[in-house]
Structure 1
């Protein structure tokens, strides 16, 4: 990747006035220290049997500081106390009440009640704070079956039984709809798209969605009918957004307000009951996408594609079909997609927006020249005042925020074995 110089200002000796040669990319940061205190960690090669994690998944705190860990490989949820000791295991593989046929994620409320997304049965299974199974709530075509909900961002709402969820990517939704039609199933075309946040109500037998917020939606051509046999057409549907197009980044604040950014500029809106109650901004401009930058990104993506091991083809194949031919065809289609990839004209400033337990907002900036680098994190207090910035290259935004300054991170060792580490934030980062 090329490195681009920051903008500079020149003072003329005659007028003694600053002349701006390029947009200012960075406001003045007030740096905070990454002096987090480790409280406990579990996982890795020497972990107890219950903590032998094979992949990173959902983690969430309750109001007592217990951490809930989704373990899809074992179809169970672990409840770990504030000292890092296992309290209980919730669920297990099976077909009975409180057993999972395919755990796809969890949502935990502050009182310790939990909803587990069971993909094998297209339901949420609800549990109380003691881990007791309560009942099941079934997904519908309107809110989407589990397969179309796997990668949706979901957050606990302001009270138990309410989940705030981002809609499904329109391209992926169209592909799933074609697959469902091919199988003779009811499609999910009525689902909201990725620019919408809805409240999912789990109070009845079916999941019921209510639109809370519709954000900026880029203009795009209508999706053509999806041909599942055409690899190039399929990949065009799945990758139709220009690279660097601003995605919707959001989180739920205590009380149910939504903090979100939906554009390339640094503007985080706080919305409550459909009205904007605050806007967090900093004088940091998006970086324009030049031809050189676009070329560098294409080259890097092609190198990564060529270095990647071919994926195994799941399931039995028709007689005479060579898996190597499928892998080669997919790789060639992916390369064509990269070579023909379009770019948004500027790189969005914000990479992530998260709300901490006390209502403070953490805004992670994007490193425009290296997407794998954890960018700097700006922290705003519950009142919206800028507290300071955690420098790039630190821990990054936590995977979960908890009470009393607890935060949880997944960490990987040199062999990519995951561990969970819980830290306590310094007083400067909590009320």
Structure 2
């Protein structure tokens, strides 16, 4: 009988010298000069306090450059990073999952003109897992501990173990970038990667439209316009207080508690306090605030609509009833793109986002030919390499789907 394989033992992370956080303008300007004196691309990362703070600001910014070393900056203490941006903005910046950090970097004045995204590069290269720790271990053979990824980075002072973790995140990025670039070049995907990196830089932040309070988790279980009014007032009261004290709203009173109060409609402050489902760290300490919101919802004449008109497409699960022709197009195109995905070793969602394919399938261009499909893809934001890879495939799928339609079936426009 063969013996059972031994459990894999993760290698321990190598010890690291003590890391210092730059908190003064004088130290910051000295660091800028040192970074300018270095060479090669700029490795950069940012740590936020998601889930702890209302804002998405950076509470730590890490930079590494060969010949300069690693620098950890305290953004709230330093303020503007205009001098650093002016010195390095035209260099290539290396980030892992750049879309997660660009907004908070731009908030302090750091705005690159060229990036290399190692997470996106890993996806395009066809790596099965794209987390930083996994990619570093796969390509560099170095174990990178990730035990502080969900920490509250607004904590002051920051523990030394957290700072070491943060420093390692950028110290390895230049080597990772070089290994990734080789992988992409060997796979004939360097131009694809450049187009994707440029698209990440050009992408605008999503603007929340409509009533933000309607994103309240569980709101669909609230019945009646008056109950919805109470839910709205509770959400807005919590949001205003969370913004005021810079705390994540859910840490004050969770969504489930607001929904429970809106459904129960307590008739007194005591009734609200007695509601078992109404909990959270600020559920009792700020009870007058929440009760005032309930009273406002009870009294308002501005009742919200039970249903909100939307121009969004229906979910694909109902397409077979709502628009069977579009459903056939979508299913045929999905299958065809999956084949291409396997051939080029690029994930389906990177070949074309599901949302874009749905929009094209719901309302295809006319006349239906290669030129019109390509123009439609371009208009929806597809990159040139994506158009080259799948325009013909989508056209063929749409044509095949139209030829298999049942007699008499027409699209529901």
**TM-score above 0.5:** no
TM-score normalised over the length of structure 1: 0.21
Q: Quick check: which one's helix share is greater?
A: 2
Q: Quick check: which one's strand share is greater?
A: 1
TM-score normalised over the length of structure 2: 0.21
Instruction: Answer 1 or 2: higher relative contact order, Cα 8 Å, separation at least 6.
Output: 1
Structure with bigger gyration radius: 2
